Each structure stands twice: as C-alpha cells, then as structure tokens.
Chain A
Amino acid sequence: MDPQGEVTGLLVAWGKGDQNALNELMPLVYNELHRMARRAWSAQDQGNTMQPTALINEAYLRLADVENASFQNRCHFFAVACTAMRQILVNHARSRLAGKRGSGRVPVSLDDVQLAVHQEAAQVVALHDALERLQAVDERKSRVIEMRYFGGLSIEETAEALGVSIITVNRDFRLARTWLMREMNGEQS
C-alpha cells in the first residue's frame, strides 16, 4: 500500500476507536516530521524558516490522501502530528542539554547566548515534564498546550482538532498555562 493510503486507512481506523491504529500511525508521522524538520531547520536553509505548524501541514499533504480524507481525518492527523512535534522538540532540547551540538551551526561566542540556549532547552524539557503531570489531572488541557505550544496551532485550529468550542480552548489554555507556570516555578501548595 502507498504511504498515503496507509496513513489515511490508519486515521479512519483510529477514528473508529482502534487504538492499535494510533500506535502504527505515530511512528509514520514522527519519522516524516522529523525528516522534514531536520531539512527545514538545517544550517543550509537558514533563510527559510519552517514553523512547526507549516511542517505539520506539509506532512499532512505528504502523508494523507487529502482528496479522500474527511474533515475528521484531518483533525485526527493534527492531533497525532502535534504529539510527534512535541517529541521532536523535547528530544532536541534533551540532546542540547546533554551538550551535543548540531552540526554546521554558526559558532557562538557570547556566553549569555550559550546560557540562554540551555535555558530555553531546559524550559522545553521542564514544560514537557509538567505537561505529563497535567495530563494525569486533565488530559484535554494537556492536549491544548501540546497543540498550541509544540504544534504551533492557533486557538481555532486547536478547537477543530479537539472537537471542542473556541471558548473551551480559551478557558483550558488560560487555566493550563497558569497551572504549568506554577508547577514549573516549583510553588506547589
């Protein structure tokens, strides 16, 4: 089966409640996004910044049989792709913190800059960890942050992908980010 048919088939199966379909779908989406992210974010392509959202859209066009896909399928794809994008960004941040630098980068000579890169990487990892704790309390809110922050989706796209109203996403987003900030600051009561 060609990859487009395969992904669409898995999206449909997952839409009908087949959890194994999701397990098969995830690596396909992850690999495609990872490949695209590496290319888009490589040093050679500096002028051409691809944002997570744009990458996810492009991956959808590549992977899904868009002509025959339903609106539902598209929403499901975005949900999976945001999770994959989160993994990609978190893995990248972790390797950053472990001191493995990407290849071919512009050399950095100012040290507040080095610190800031580490700080951003640490923030991404800390957010990921806090998000796992939020997921245990309220799964949907953790998904809202995942889509907004890691997937770069707008409030409207997030509402679409989760099948809830824009008002709900706004409320979820407000509470979730406050909760996460509190967690990340370690001010647990």
Chain B
Amino acid sequence: MTLKADWVEIERLFHESVDLPVKERQALLASASASVRAEVESLLKTEDEAVFVARPDRLAADLLDQPSALSTSERIGKYQIESLITVGGMGEVYLARNQSGCPVALKILRRHLVASPQAVDRFQTEVRAASALDDLNIVTVYESGDSPAGLFLAMEWVEGPTFRQLMAAGAAEISDAIDWGEQAASALAAAHSADILHRDIKPENIILRKDGVVKILDFGLARLAGPVRIEPHSTGASGTISGTLSGTLLYMSPEILRGETASSASDVFSLGALFYELWTGRHPFAGETPLDVYEAIECRNVAAPSAMQPAIPLEIDSLILRMLDRDPALRPPAHEVRDVFSRFSART
C-alpha cells in the first residue's frame, strides 16, 4: 500500500537506489522509516521487464486481432511464407514451403509472449518432447527455431476438417466413430508411453486428414498454455477467470478444475468427453454459462451414451462412461481404450 504522504520520499529513494549494488542500497535505505523502506524494497525487487518489453502499439494491435502478419514470400529460417491460416493473440499459423517446395505449417509465437527466459526454456523443452513423438496419429514437429518475427515451429501440414467441424454435422456414423476413436486413443497411448501428456485434448485440436488418418495437433505443446494462463493473483480481477477458461472448460477433467496436477488420466477424461459428443451429438457437460459447465463436470451424473444412441455397442457405452469417471484412478488407460476400439474395428 503506497501512502501519498510518503510518495515524494519513496520516489527519491527509488531513483537513488535503483541502479546501485544491493549493499549500497541497504545503506541508503537504512535511514528511512520502516514503511517507506518496505515500499521501496518491494519496488526494487519487482521485475518490470516481462510486460513492458512489448511495444505498446504492438500489444494494442494484437489485442484487436490485428496480426503483425508476415507477408507472402517472406522467409523464416528455411521456410517461405505462403499464406496466413489462423491468427490469435499468441501468434499466427502460416502455410509455408520448405526448400523442396513441400508444404509445412509454421507457427510463430509472438515475441512478447515468450519474452521471459523461463517461457522460452519451457517452449524448447516441450518442442523436444513433441519431436520425440513419432506416431502416425500425431502431427510431426520438424524443427523449431528463432527468427526476427519470434520463435517458430515447423510442423507437418495436415489438410482436413477438425473434429469440431465434423461434429457440427451431428453424431457420427458408428463405423467412423469406431475408427476415429481407435486412432485418437492410439495417439494418446503412444504419447503416454513416452511420458508425454497433451493437456488440452479437444475437438479443435484433432484433425481428420483427407485420407482418413486422424491427427492430434500440438502434442506436448499444450503446456505452452502454462505461461499464459491467468492466475487469480496476477490479475486481481476475479471476473476474468471464467472468461479465460471458457474455451477449454468443456473438456477439462475435474482434477484440473480443482487445480490439481494433470496426469495421463486427465487426457483420457478429455478424450472421453469428446467421444461422448461424437457418438451422441451432445456434450456430456453442456451448460449455459461457464459456471454451469464447471458444476456439471464436478457433479453431474452423466447419462449413458446408449440412452441417446441406442445403436452404440455396450462395451463402448461403458468404456466412455469409465473414461468420464470423476476418480482418475478408475479411468481406463489410453492403451486399453485403443484396444477396445481395435476389437470393434476388426469386426467391421
């Protein structure tokens, strides 16, 4: 709490001490009253670089969805930009070409959002993890690097609808739902066996490639959401929390909502919610407001998918309900989910 009466002295001491070595600071501050000293010390230890490193006009432009878009034919590393695919506050995804002219998806992470060494470090750790995954159903990460535009990530170019787009058409055909379920669970099982979690499984992150191969996006990169997620203490504005979560809330497991650590079972839960929607055309935790959804995930007794989709095989009906168990320990591991679907896909 800054008192106006002390402000002139606080200001003077701050400017006199801010560029001094720590020892000399202490000597200088020794003569001040306890409250003034506490205030100046608190200011001196505040790291102010992270937020203000961004040029304000850049931030304002970002806020208004105005990308600092790269232009066509611009080069990032060895890639040539072709067109802008999607835009958001954290960066842009472009269609680009490598030296041999093959298409790649190039994701640029805006510099000011990865300004802190910790965030960059985490980004690179996660890229290494994602690069380590070599699975047909997981989008391949080719390389990451630094460029004047920001950190970039070159990924396999996948063409096809997202599961969000697929599900907009209503419940899927049974044979499709079995095939897609097997592929998605198989990707998750491969990642989990390499000790990598996705942490953000949702229909927007899964694509059905034109040739019928299911591809999970951003594997291991979901952790990137870490540094940008709003913690209550960093905003001071309680109203922002539900807004922040609303995008991903529907597929979050109850343990993550409670603030506990994510585990492989959390990914299984998210995939279970997605399967439920895929089979029935309805989301198990749909609600009017984020709070309704929150309560539904915490407390709602989910009706069996077979109540809405009588044609669902019994074993899959109970598998999806087990994936949505509130107790992470009771959910089946991803490889078991895959195996159940495999048995059915072998029959069809």
Q: Indicate whether A and B interact.
A: yes
If A152-B60, A179-B2 touch, whether A122 touches B90 (CB-CB below 8 Å) is no
Question: Are A99 and B39 closer than 8 Å at their CB atoms?
Answer: no
A-B contact pairs, 7 of them (CB 8 A): A113-B90, A129-B236, A178-B43, A178-B44, A181-B48, A183-B236, A184-B236
Q: Which residues on A are within 8 Å of B, measured CB to CB? A: 37, 41, 43, 46-47, 49, 51-53, 89, 92-93, 96-99, 102, 105-126, 129-130, 136-138, 148-150, 152, 171, 174-175, 177-179, 181-189
Distance (whole angstroms) from the CB of A174 to the closest CB of chain B: 7
Q: Could you say which of B89, B225, B233 has the most chain A C-beta atoms within 10 Å of its C-beta?
A: B89
CB pair A108 B86 closer than 8 Å: yes
CB atoms of A113 and B91 under 8 A apart = yes
Nearest CB in chain B to that of A107: its residue:
B86
CB-CB < 8 A to A93: which residues of B? Answer: 63
B260 at interface by CB-CB < 8 Å: no
* Chain B residues with CB below 8 A from A111, complex form: 200, 202, 204-205, 222, 225, 247-248
Determine whether the beta carbon of B225 is less than 8 Å from that of A53: no
Determine whether the beta carbon of A122 is less than 8 Å from that of B235: yes
Taking CB atoms, residues of chain A closer than 8 Å to B235 are: 122-123, 125-126, 184
Cβ-defined contact, A110 with B233, below 8 A: no
**Measured CA separation A115–B248 after assembly (Å):** 9
**Cross-chain contact A125 with B237 (CB below 8 angstroms):** yes
CB pair A174–B18 under 8 Å, yes or no, is yes
Over the window 237-278 of chain B, the binary record of Cβ atoms lying under 8 Å from chain A Cβ atoms (1 yes, 0 no) is 101100110111000000000000000000000000000000
Known: A99-B246, A111-B248, A112-B90. A181 touches B228 (CB 8 A): no
Contact status of A122 and B240, CB under 8 A, knowing A179-B2, A182-B46, A185-B234 = yes
Query: Which of B51-59, B179-187, B316-324, B331-339 is the contact stretch?
Result: B51-59
Counting chain B residues whose Cβ lies within 8 A of the other chain, the interface size class is 35 or more
Please report the C-alpha to C-alpha distance between residue A37 and residue B84 in the assembled complex, in whole angstroms.
23
Instruction: Find out whether the CB atom of A116 lies under 8 angstroms from the CB atom of B51.
Output: no
Query: Do B243 and A118 touch across chains, with their CB atoms under 8 A apart?
Result: yes
Q: A41-B66, A106-B84 provided; 4 other pairs, C-beta below 8 A? A: A51-B60, A111-B225, A122-B237, A183-B236
Q: Within 8 Å CB of A115, what residues of B?
A: 90, 225, 228-230, 244, 247-248
Taking CB atoms, residues of chain B closer than 8 Å to A97 are: 239-240, 243
Is B57 a contact of A120 with CB atoms below 8 Å? no
* B2, B11, B164, B224 interface centre (most CB from chain A within 10 Å): B2
| 1/0 contact string of B79-112 vs chain A (CB within 8 Å) | 0000010111111010000000000000100100
Closest to A102 in B: B65
Determine if A116 and B228 form an interchain contact, defined as CB atoms under 8 angstroms apart.
yes
Is the pair B68, A119 in contact by a Cβ cutoff of 8 Å? no
The interface residues of chain A lying within 8 Å CB-to-CB of B68 are 49
* Residue picked from A37, A179, A187, most chain B C-beta under 10 Å: A179
Question: Known interface pairs A111-B202, A113-B88. Does A175 touch B229 (Cβ–Cβ under 8 Å)?
Answer: no
Q: Which residues of A contact B221 (CB under 8 A)?
A: 112
Assess the A110–B217 pair: CB atoms within 8 A: yes
Question: Which of chain A's residues has its CB closest to B233's CB?
Answer: A186
A51, B58: Cα distance in complex, Å: 8
Q: A93-B63, A111-B248, A112-B222 are in contact. Are A184 and B234 (CB under 8 A)?
A: yes
A106 / chain B contacts, CB cutoff of 8 Å: 65, 84, 86-87
B48 touches A178 (CB 8 A): yes
Q: How far is the CA of A130 from the CA of B51 in the complex (A)?
A: 14
- Known pairs A116-B228, A175-B15, A179-B2; A110 contacts B60 (CB<8 A): no
Contact status of A112 and B66, CB under 8 A, knowing A118-B243, A122-B240, A175-B11: no
Kindly list chain A residues whose C-beta atoms are within 8 Å of the C-beta of B7: 137-138
Task: Given the known inter-chain contacts A181-B51, A182-B42, please indicate yes or no for A120 contacting B63, CB distance below 8 A.
Answer: yes
- Asked whether, in the complex, the Cβ of B84 is within 8 Å of the Cβ of A112, the reply is no
Of all chain A residues, which has the CB nearest B71? Answer: A47
**A89–B66 touching, CB < 8 Å:** no
Q: Are A113 and B243 in contact, with the CB atoms below 8 A?
A: no
Which residues does chain B contribute within 8 Å of A53, judged by CB atoms?
A: 57
* CB-CB under 8 A for A126 and B236, given A99-B246, A111-B204, A112-B218: yes
Q: What's the Cα separation between A60 and B14 when bound, in Å?
A: 37
